Chain A
Amino acid sequence: MTCECERENPYLPEPARIVRHYDLVKDHRFYQIRHIDMQRAMTFTYEPGQFIMLSIPGIGEAPFSISSTPSRPGILEMGIRRVGSLTEALFKLKDNDTIYIRGPYGNGFKIEQMRGKDIIIVAGGLGVIPLRSILYYVLDNRDQFGDLYFLYGTRTPSDKLFRQEFLQLKQRDDIECLFTVDDTAGEEWTEHVGVVTELFKELPPLDPHNVNAVICGPPVMYKYVIEELLKMKVPKNQIQMTLERRMKCGVGKCGHCALDHLYTCIHGPVFTYWDTLQFRELI
Chain B
Amino acid sequence: MDVKYLDEFLASLGEFGTLYGPTRRDGVLTYERLDNIKELEITTERPLIPVKKLFHPKRFDMFTYDENGFTPNCSLFEKRVLIGVHPCDIHSLLKLDRLYLADPADPYYKGLRECTAIVGFSCLPDENCLCKSTGTDIIEQGFDLFFVKLNGFYLVWVGSSLGHDMVLEKEEFFDSDVTPRDIQEYIDWREMRDGMFQKSFDFKNMPDVIELSYNSADWEYFGEKCLSCGQCSMVCPTCSCFHVHDIPDIGSENTGRRERMWDSCMFVDFSLVAGGHNFRKQRADRLKLWYTHKLKTLGREYGNPGCVGCGRCLTNCPVDINVLTVSEALLSEGVPK
State yes or no: do A and B come from one complex: yes
Chain A residues close to B by CB (< 8 Å): 3-13, 15, 55, 57-62, 81, 83-84, 86-87, 100, 219, 244-246, 248-249, 251-256, 258, 260-263, 267, 280-281
Task: Say yes or no: B244 contacts A249, CB within 8 Å.
Answer: yes
Binds A, one of B18-26, B66-74, B173-181, B315-323: B66-74
Instruction: Say yes or no for B108: interface residue by CB 8 A criterion.
Output: yes
Task: Say yes or no: A61 contacts B244, CB within 8 Å.
Answer: yes
Task: Say yes or no: B299 contacts A263, CB within 8 Å.
Answer: yes
Question: When A and B form their complex, which 4 residue pairs have the shortest distance between CB atoms, in order from nearest?
Answer: A255-B241, A84-B274, A4-B111, A5-B107
Task: Say yes or no: A4 contacts B254, CB within 8 Å.
Answer: no
Q: Which of B237-262 contact A (CB under 8 A)?
A: 240-246, 248, 253-254, 256, 258
Task: List 7 A-B pairs, Cβ < 8 Å.
Answer: A3-B111, A11-B63, A12-B72, A59-B246, A84-B274, A254-B241, A281-B285
Known: A5-B111, A281-B285. A251 touches B72 (CB 8 A): no
Given A4-B77, A5-B111, A263-B299, 15 more A-B residue pairs with CB atoms under 8 Å apart are: A5-B107, A10-B104, A13-B69, A57-B254, A57-B258, A84-B274, A87-B274, A244-B273, A252-B301, A254-B241, A255-B242, A256-B263, A256-B270, A261-B293, A280-B214
Known: A258-B289, A267-B300. A5 touches B72 (CB 8 A): yes
- CB closest chain-B residue, reference A219: B277
- CB closest chain-A residue, reference B253: A58
Task: Say yes or no: B74 contacts A261, CB within 8 Å.
Answer: no
Instruction: Say yes or no for B279: interface residue by CB 8 A criterion.
Output: yes
Question: Of B106, B244, B275, B289, which contacts A83 at CB under 8 A?
Answer: B275
Cβ–Cβ < 8 Å partners of A60 in chain B: 244-246
- CB closest chain-A residue, reference B265: A255
**Bound-complex Cα distance A48 to B74 (A):** 35
Task: Say yes or no: A248 contacts B242, CB within 8 Å.
Answer: yes
- Closest Cβ of chain A to B274, distance in Å, is 3
**Bound-complex Cα distance A263 to B302 (A):** 11
Task: Say yes or no: A245 contacts B273, CB within 8 Å.
Answer: yes
- Closest Cβ of chain A to B78, distance in Å, is 11
Known: A8-B107, A10-B107, A60-B245. A256 touches B271 (CB 8 A): yes
Task: Say yes or no: B107 contacts A7, CB within 8 Å.
Answer: yes
**Bound-complex Cα distance A9 to B73 (A):** 11
| Contact count band on B | 35 or more
Cβ–Cβ < 8 Å partners of A246 in chain B: 270-273, 279
Cβ–Cβ < 8 Å partners of B104 in chain A: 8, 10, 251
- Closest Cβ of chain B to A221, distance in Å, is 13
**Bound-complex Cα distance A10 to B104 (A):** 7
Known: A60-B245, A100-B69. A258 touches B107 (CB 8 A): no
- CB closest chain-A residue, reference B105: A8
- Closest Cβ of chain A to B243, distance in Å, is 6
Cβ–Cβ < 8 Å partners of B69 in chain A: 13, 15, 57, 100
- CB closest chain-A residue, reference B271: A246
- Closest Cβ of chain A to B97, distance in Å, is 12
Interface class of chain A by DSSP: loop
Cβ–Cβ < 8 Å partners of B280 in chain A: 281
Task: Say yes or no: B274 contacts A13, CB within 8 Å.
Answer: no
Question: Of B65, B74, B258, B270, which contacts A3 at CB under 8 A?
Answer: B74
Instruction: Say yes or no for B59: interface residue by CB 8 A criterion.
Output: no
- CB closest chain-B residue, reference A87: B274
Instruction: Say yes or no for B228: interface residue by CB 8 A criterion.
Output: no
**Bound-complex Cα distance A252 to B98 (A):** 11
Cβ–Cβ < 8 Å partners of B100 in chain A: 253
Cβ–Cβ < 8 Å partners of A11 in chain B: 62-63, 107
**Bound-complex Cα distance A267 to B241 (A):** 17
Task: Say yes or no: B279 contacts A281, CB within 8 Å.
Answer: yes
Instruction: Say yes or no for B283: interface residue by CB 8 A criterion.
Output: no
- Closest Cβ of chain A to B134, distance in Å, is 18
Cβ–Cβ < 8 Å partners of A100 in chain B: 69-70
Question: Of B63, B72, B263, which contacts A255 at CB under 8 A?
Answer: B263
**Bound-complex Cα distance A83 to B277 (A):** 11
Cβ–Cβ < 8 Å partners of A62 in chain B: 274
Task: Say yes or no: A253 contacts B106, CB within 8 Å.
Answer: yes
Cβ–Cβ < 8 Å partners of A58 in chain B: 65, 246, 248, 253-254, 256
Q: Which of B41-81 contact A (CB under 8 A)?
A: 62-63, 65, 69-70, 72-74, 76-77
**Bound-complex Cα distance A61 to B301 (A):** 26
Cβ–Cβ < 8 Å partners of A4 in chain B: 77, 107-108, 110-111, 114
Instruction: Say yes or no for B37: interface residue by CB 8 A criterion.
Output: no
Task: Say yes or no: B99 contacts A253, CB within 8 Å.
Answer: yes
Instruction: Say yes or no for B102: interface residue by CB 8 A criterion.
Output: yes
Task: Say yes or no: B74 contacts A248, CB within 8 Å.
Answer: no
- Closest Cβ of chain A to B213, distance in Å, is 12
